Amino acid sequence: MSRYTKVVAGLGVVAGALGLSTGLSFDVSEVPEVSANVLAPQFSFNCIKSDVAMPLDNDGSFSVSVWNIYKQQKDNWRSELERFSQNSGLVLLQEASLTAELKDYLDDTQWKVRMANAFKFLNTPAGVMNLSSVNAKTTCAYLAMEPWLRLPKSALLSEFVLSNGQTLAVVNLHGVNFALGLEEYKEQFHTLKRVLDKHIGPVILAGDFNTWRQARLDVVDEFARSLGLEDAVLRRDQRVKVFGKPLDHLYYRGLDLVSAEAPSTDASDHNPIIANFRLQ
């Protein structure tokens, strides 16, 4: 079995298929199976552990790239991913689709891969994906249902060893998008907060949060403040905006931010965030 097939994908059996007007179908698990004969609530999780976990940083420094890769629909996604991640020890992708082309890319690299499968389209898993230079100690995958589309959004919460003896918690989140109110959106963050409240040490929270209106930004800002997270200041901020609001974010605590930027690309409908950190 290939390395990329051992990811945190498929959080349980498929509960049904949603047929769309186009005639295409999505396999959706609304209540993923966490363990034998146990069904989780709508926002559920599953975790795996690694036996060996080396420090993520190199002499106290490491880089992170964050990118909604648009299901690799653009022809130049691979060359741009290689460009953005060439100096990164950690890459946080949203809307990753485990196609044959992405599998080929993963086979050609040394990345350690973890994926949270939100749904399957034509039997191809899609969701958030972590690529890291070293194994995480623990990675937990989360699902949250889109109230209108009934297609889940996913998140990964990983713990990485650092060379100073601390543990870094990293959240890769794709935020609920199509919701009239804020309840489902808030629940995504509240569930993660219950875990992060127990974490002592550095934290990185990043991804496509779908913050296309101020009320959503307020939810994220309140969440960040409650955990002591800082919003990364981008020296070159070309993040994609909707209604004047950026969709992609990177928050952190317990680390020194050396530099951060959001360069432009035509390989997705989102531009990446690239950040360099040093341990405190």
Kindly tell me the burial class for residue 140, based on how many C-beta atoms sit within 10 Å of its own C-beta (0-12, 13-18, 19 or more).
Answer: buried
- Look up tokens 């934290």; give the residue: 203
Domains and CATH numbers, the chain: 3-279 (3.60.10.10)
Predicted structure pTM score? 0.85
Q: What local confidence, expressed as pLDDT, does residue 253 receive? A: 98
* pLDDT tens per residue across span 7-66: 333 333 222 222 333 344 445 444 332 222 222 223 345 788 988 899 999 999 999 999
Backbone angles phi, psi at 226, to 5 degrees: -65, -25
Listed as ranges, residues in the chain with pLDDT below 70 are 1-45, 119, 122, 148-150
Q: 193 in the Ramachandran plot: left (φ > 0), alpha (ψ -120 to 50) or beta?
A: alpha
CA–CA distance from 237 to each of 142, 176, 187, 256 (Å)?
29, 23, 29, 19
Residue 87 near residue 106 (C-beta atoms within 8 A): no
> Do 118 and 46 meet the contact criterion of CB atoms below 8 Å apart?
no
- The DSSP 8-state label assigned to residue 58 in this structure reads B
First to last CA, the chain: 39
Question: How far apart (Å, rounded) are the C-alpha atoms in residues 184 and 203?
Answer: 23
Task: State the pLDDT at residue 32.
Answer: 31
Instruction: Identify the pLDDT of residue 146.
Output: 73
pLDDT given for residue 124 in this prediction? 83
Count of CA atoms in the C-beta half-sphere (13 A) of 242: 15
Please report where in the chains the tokens 């460009």 appear, as a residue.
Answer: 83
Q: Other C-beta atoms within 10 Å of 51: how many?
A: 6
CA 245 – CA 85 distance, rounded (Å): 25
According to the model, what pLDDT value does residue 178 have? Answer: 75
Q: Which two tokens stand for residue 62?
A: 């490491």
Q: Is residue 168 classed as helix, strand or coil in its secondary structure?
A: strand
* Rounded (5°) CA angle 128-186-276: 45
